[in-house]
Structures are given as structure tokens and as C-alpha cells.
Amino acid sequence: MQNPPGEEPETTLSVTPPKKWAAGVPAVVHALEYSLEQTSPRKTGVDLLTMNQVGGIDCPGCAWADPPPGRRHRNEYCENGAKHINDEATTRRITADFFREHSVADLAGRSDMWLNQQGRLTEPMIKRPGSEHYEPIRWNDALGVLAQELKALASPDEAVFYTSGRASNEAAFVLQLFARAFGTNNLPDCSNMCHESSGFALSETLGTGKGTVSLDDLHHADLIFLVGQNPGTNHPRQLSALEEAKRNGGRIVAVNPLPEAGLRRFKNPQKPRGVVGRGTQIADRFLHIKPGGDLALFQALNRLLLEAEDARPGTVLDHDFIDAHTTGFEEFARHARTLDWEDVHTATGLTREEIEKVRDEVLTSERVIVCWAMGITQHKHGVPTIREIVNFLMLRGNLGRAGTGACPVRGHSNVQGDRTMGIWEQMPDTFLDALQKEFGFDPPRPHGLDSVNSIKAMREGRVKVFLALAGNFVRAAPDSEVTEEALRSCRLTAHISTKLNRSHTVCGDTALILPTLGRTERDVQADGEQFVTVENSMSEVHTSQGRLEPASPLLLSEVAILCRLARRTLGGKPDIPWSTFEGDYGTIRDRISRVVPGFHDFNARVARPGGFQLPNPVNEGVFNNKVGKALFTRNERVVPRAPEGHLLLQTLRSHDQWNTVPYSNNDRYRGIHGSRHVVLVNPADLTELGLAQGDHVDLVSVWADGSERRAENFEVVSYPAAKGSAAAYYPETNVLVPLDSVADISNQPTSKGIVVRLEPTSDRARPVTA
């Protein structure tokens, strides 16, 4: 165990060649090093050995599914999960003295890493209007302040209730119930910023907002596409599934602007061949695509498949499936055949021959899965891209059969479950009707605000109270300066949190920190010890129960905080048994079972080892969209272009980072050490731009309205990024993403494909001459 850093660590950048493989023994060493820095060997052992086990803790690190009970490894976690769980289980504590020592302005000047490293929050804190410091406040008073502000609003729609994907099903259900009983649908969530495009595209085309594959499907697919995702860093346990798929004879095509280590080779540290051998090659074929070129790639593949069918009628397309289960094929096919290969090359940077080789892989594969993540969803054309992926899958009937399907890979552990529980600003009437019937009040019907629109509303003074259930909203959101200004304009901001982050330093007139239990900790309520439930990326619902003593006796669970707040705010109207909910989470699950489709007998079914899997209608032969059939779509061509002298920037996470929280300034897979203020650029682009490795530049984004945004003083690293593109770390470069730059249809911020130019910092320092 080490003490928290007193001052920001001073490190300088060093660059080594990118790694060609992921995990292996170094992953174990790094995980243990970080864990033991944070907490004791005993706590580390308890956490890790109960993590992702039946009756244990669901790893908050990502939403990847667990193998079935009896098939799990004793160490069913990855390097990043181990770091994350022990980052939460840290023995470091933040007390009232810390806030006396550090003003809000001081904290606002600290890095994300430094704030996180200070340890666990231990008691409620308030920053009063005009004060420069947080000070302790009793729970009753804190919740009273918040309830009073809510009750004083002219309209319930002047409040926003944000949810991050760490929240359990029970907490999420209680939050949406409270918000709607209070009178608003303003329920933005982190989904708005990660997979909103997936949800919209899949709902429209397939009638389900969720992926259709299970782990077994991945294990037995003939061909798996990994598109716009970096499993080695963002969901490392996926590598185990890919390894099994490879050992079963499957092949993998990786499509990404960066040749990430985890896409190349995986050394499974839990297998002898991963410790002493060469490991498993992941990608059999790597397409080094330009950011945003994926739509053109799948349109090209679809055209090639149509042409292959022309050449050998009846042998390529799955006419049974297309005729019986889909609509829109003819219009789609007409459009697909008009593809221009020059556009494809410009959009993708790939040759026709490269794409034809992939077509050949598809033609020899009976079972195909496409996985994707934010490298797809965070583009302006994220929704059309995913719709085109669905077209691709449907052409050969790669839906609803074993070993086939669509696999959006989600990042936050319960991001899918929170949405299932009703955390969405646009919930359909069927859900609201069920709430009405169950709880006897009239939920508001007008749609509420998502994340982007919440920021706009705060900025315009239409929202005055912001409550966040977990997360680090100001760092996750785009246009950092605008978002911070929006938060600061609120009358009250409140965060239910386990650890300190920048959102606590961006305060409304009044600010509250409401410290809560983490996943690792025992949750004892009036009816005894509680567990919570979560839903993973493959729609499996299961329990999570911590084993460690809470970081402080003053911590309340998320459910307890929300129930107490609801009681204080709403009084007895409507008549909802908040105290009963707080004392026994099983009573919340009883209500969920009557409100949320698919959760019948929730308490009984989730008590089974491993919980239960929600059925996916697509795998039942049902398409619950407006047309009642799987929908082929016609998607307009998009050729992302940067003006001369500009690049298309993608923001990304480092390997040593979880969401907005960096654990160090290193990114060892990419060979970056000691600094996060780097921009990765293709060497040919550097030559054209007259730059060289080691140069210091400002990143300047250029938006359609002519406005410019600047991220200052980044060091240039020559890197095998796709030609014409650049990459830099999130959240440091969120400042470059305009609030108005959102994905069509889904309103998801576009953190990929940002047009930037690189201005040497020496130019900035130079006096302006006439």
C-alpha cells in the first residue's frame, strides 16, 4: 500500500515500439502491482477470487459476459478489471481535513489521475454558495438541501437525473421511479455517449436494442469481425472468447485505424501456452481503415456479395431468410449496386483487392458475427454504419442462428441493465403504463433530455438542479469547456460517488458529494445483507455482492440514498414504499418483475447460480420493429474528408485507464510512457505536415460553424495510425468535440472523425503581426 500522491507526478514522455501482443505475464504483474499499491494483499485476494464468480462481485470494469457457472476460471478477470476493483477497494481515504486543505479551485486544477488517487470518499460534503471549500454535512441535512432545491423548482423539468453504468438494476429502477414520480423524464445516461447509435440502429432494423450473440455463439462462429474496437484494453476478457473461437477453427477479421496489440496476438496468462508460448494470433486479416470508413467498407462488401450471387445464383445469399423474414431488400440491393469504388478507396484507404479477400472469407463462412464498439458508434454516421452491418449480416442469413449475429460490445458493467430498467428520456408508453399501473401515479409522457440536450438546457438556464448517480459527467461529456460552464450555471449539483473526480470540482452554486458503497463492499440494510443485480452485454442478468467492509461507516448504498431522497422530496405522494425498498432490495425486484418485460419471477430466477438470460427476440424468429420484419436499409454514402493540412482525429483510452480515470501516464501496448498529452500520427502525414516526432503542437478542431477549439501542448508521436488520421487520449481531448457535433438520429456525441489541424505551439507563442 502506498500513500496518495501529494503533488502531481512529474514524468516525461518516452516512446517505445508498439507491442505486438496483449496480456501474458506482464498483465498479471501490472495488475498485482497496482492492486498492492492501493490495498492490502488480503483485500486484493478477497476481491479477485470473488470477482465474476457465482455469488461474488460483478466486475465493474466492463460488461463482457461470464462463462456459465462451473465453467469459470478461478481467476475470472483481466488486468484492467483487477486494477479497477482494487482502485475501488483502496485503503486510501478522503476525509474532511482533505477538503479543508484543498479548495475547490485547487482541486479543479488537478489531473484526473491525481483526484482518483486520493482514495475513497467517506462522508457527505457540501460546498455552500460563495464558499471555496467543501465541508462536512450530515446525511439528513444533505438530502434535505437537495430535496428543498428540487421542491423549489418551477417545474420538475428543471432537474436532470444522470446515471452512469455502474449503477445496479435496483438503483437504476429506483432512480427512474423517483424522477418520474417527481414529474420528469430528464434521465440522461452514459449510454447516450457510448452505444446510443447501436441501440437506435438495431431497434429500427431488428426490433431489439441489444446484441444477439452469446459467448457460445462467438466460440463457434466461422468468422468474426472486430470493427472499431480494441478488446485488449477495453474488454480484455473478450480475448479469451476469441481465443476459443480460433481454437475451434474460426477466423477473425479486425478493422481498425490503429493496429492495436490485442487485435494481433493474445497470450492468455491463465494457460501455459500464454505464459511460455507465442499465444494465439487473433486477427487473421487486419484492415487498416481510415476513421469513419466502415460504412463504405460494409457497403462494398455488400455489393461484392450481391455480385457473387449474380455469378453463382442461389449459392451466396440466404434467400430463405431474405424472403421470409426481411423487407426492403430490393431497394437496398439497387442502391448497393451503384457503389463507386473510388469513393470506397477514399473513405476506407483500402484497396479493392483487400476488400475482395474479405469477401472470400465471408463466402467460405457459414456463421458470421460482427462485433463493434465506439470506433463505430461515435461517428456522425454511426447509425447508418450499424444499419449497413445489419444488411451485411442479413444477406447470408447470419442472424438468429447459432454462431451468428450482431455484437455491440459495451463498456460499462451495467450500462445495458440501466437502460432496461427505464433509464431513458424517451421510454415508450407501454413502460410508462406499467409504471402507472404498478405505482398508481401518472408518469410524465413528454420526452425528457438526453446528455447533450441536458448540457444545452443547463447552459441556457432551463435546468437548475443536476444529480448524478455515479460517473464523471463533465469528463465523459463532449466540449469540456461548454459542459463545465453548463454545470457551473446550475443552482445545485450533486454527485453520488465512490471516489473524487473532476465533476466534483465543477460546482453549481451549491454542490453536494454523496458518498456511496462500492461493488466490493457489504451492503447491510434493515432486512439484512443485500445483493444487487446487473445485466451484461449478452443480456444475462445476475447478482453482485461485495464482501469487504465499507470504506466508512457513514457510507450509504445507492439505493438507500435514492430512497431517502425520494421520501424527503415527495413525502407520501405518490404512495411508494421507499423505506421498504431501502430495507429489502428484493421488494424492488418484485416491482421490476411486474413492470419490466422479461423479468417475471425476478427474485427466484436471479437466485439461481449464474442468474438468467433475457431472450433475444431475433433468436426467437421475431422482429419487434415497426414493420415486423428485419429491415434492409438504404444508407447514403459517406466519405469522411479532412481539408488539406488537417487530419481526422479519434479520441481513445490508454491501456492504463478505466473510462475517464487514468491509472498512470503510461499506455504500454502503444509504447507510450510518461505522458498522456500525445497525438499519434502516421509518419507520412507528419512529413506532409512538416512535423516530426517530439514536436509540440496544439490540436485545433474545426467545426462547421467556423468555431475552433483548442487542446494545448501535445507531443507528436510517429505512429502507425491510418493515413490521414490521428489519435489522442480521452478525456483530455473531449474539449475538441463540439456539443453540436452529434451522430445523426442517435444524438450521440461524435468523439471520432473530428477534423483537426496540428499547430506548433511555437506558432501560438509568436506575436501576431499585421
Partner 1 sequence: MAHEDDSRQAVPNPRGRRADGDGGTRRRPLRERHVEETVEVAVPVRTAYNQWTQFKTFPRFSTVVRGVEQVRPTVTVWSIGYGPLRHRFPVEIVEQDPDAYLAWRGLEQNPSHQGEVEFMPTESGGTAITVRMLLEPRGGARLLTRSTGAARLTSRLVNAELVNFKQFIEGLGQEGGAWRGTIRNGRVQHDHPEPPRSRVAQWPVG
Site membership for partner 1, residue 748 (CB under 8 A): yes
Tell me which residues in 557-596 interact with partner 1 (CB under 8 A): 596
Site membership for partner 1, residue 202 (CB under 8 A): yes
The residue type found at 748 is: Q
Supply 465's cell numbers: 438542479
377 vs 544, which CB is nearer to partner 1?
377
User: Closest by alpha carbon to 643, among 597, 566, 700?
Assistant: 700
Return the bridge partners of 756, or none. 647, 701
| CA 577 from centre of chain | 33
Longest dimension (CA), the chain: 76
Site membership for partner 1, residue 354 (CB under 8 A): no
Site membership for partner 1, residue 189 (CB under 8 A): yes
E strand or H helix at 533, and its extent? strand 532-535
Q: What angle do CA 543, 418, 444 make, to 5 degrees?
A: 135
Site membership for partner 1, residue 436 (CB under 8 A): no
Least distance (Å) between residue 565 CB and partner 1:
25
Tell me which residues in 474-513 interact with partner 1 (CB under 8 A): none
**Grid cell 476506407 — which residue?**
348
Tell me which residues in 594-653 interact with partner 1 (CB under 8 A): 596-598, 613-617, 619-622, 624, 628
Of 56, 156, 199, 443, the one binding partner 1 (CB under 8 A) is 199
Cβ-count burial of 73 within 10 angstroms (0-12 exposed, 13-18 middle, 19+ buried)?
middle
Site membership for partner 1, residue 415 (CB under 8 A): yes
72 vs 677, which CB is nearer to partner 1?
72
CB 236 within 8 A of CB 24: no
Site membership for partner 1, residue 654 (CB under 8 A): no
Among the listed ranges 256-264, 423-431, 495-503, 662-670, the one in contact with partner 1 (CB under 8 A) is: 423-431
Least distance (Å) between residue 326 CB and partner 1:
12
Site membership for partner 1, residue 248 (CB under 8 A): yes
624 vs 762, which CB is nearer to partner 1?
624
User: Closest by alpha carbon to 549, among 42, 38, 36?
Assistant: 42
How many DSSP H helices and E strands does the chain contain? 33, 33
Site membership for partner 1, residue 216 (CB under 8 A): yes
- Cα separation of 659 and 562, whole Å? 24
Site membership for partner 1, residue 299 (CB under 8 A): no
CB 186 within 8 A of CB 195: no
Of 71, 334, 437, 522, the one binding partner 1 (CB under 8 A) is 71
Site membership for partner 1, residue 304 (CB under 8 A): yes
**Count of residues in contact with partner 1, rule CB under 8 A:** 80
The residue type found at 188 is: P
Of 191, 543, 654, 733, the one binding partner 1 (CB under 8 A) is 191
Least distance (Å) between residue 426 CB and partner 1:
8
Residues near 217 by beta carbon (within 8 Å), at least 6 away in sequence? 369, 402, 403, 404, 405
- Cα separation of 388 and 390, whole Å? 5
221 vs 283, which CB is nearer to partner 1?
221
The residue type found at 290 is: K
Of 365, 543, 545, 557, the one binding partner 1 (CB under 8 A) is 365
Site membership for partner 1, residue 533 (CB under 8 A): no
Of 6, 17, 130, 249, the one binding partner 1 (CB under 8 A) is 249
**Grid cell 489541424 — which residue?**
757
CB 147 within 8 A of CB 568: yes
User: Closest by alpha carbon to 269, among 277, 281, 260, 257?
Assistant: 277
Of 192, 230, 635, 664, the one binding partner 1 (CB under 8 A) is 192
Tell me which residues in 667-696 interact with partner 1 (CB under 8 A): none
Site membership for partner 1, residue 401 (CB under 8 A): yes
Of 361, 484, 656, 732, the one binding partner 1 (CB under 8 A) is 361
Site membership for partner 1, residue 470 (CB under 8 A): no
SS3 402: coil
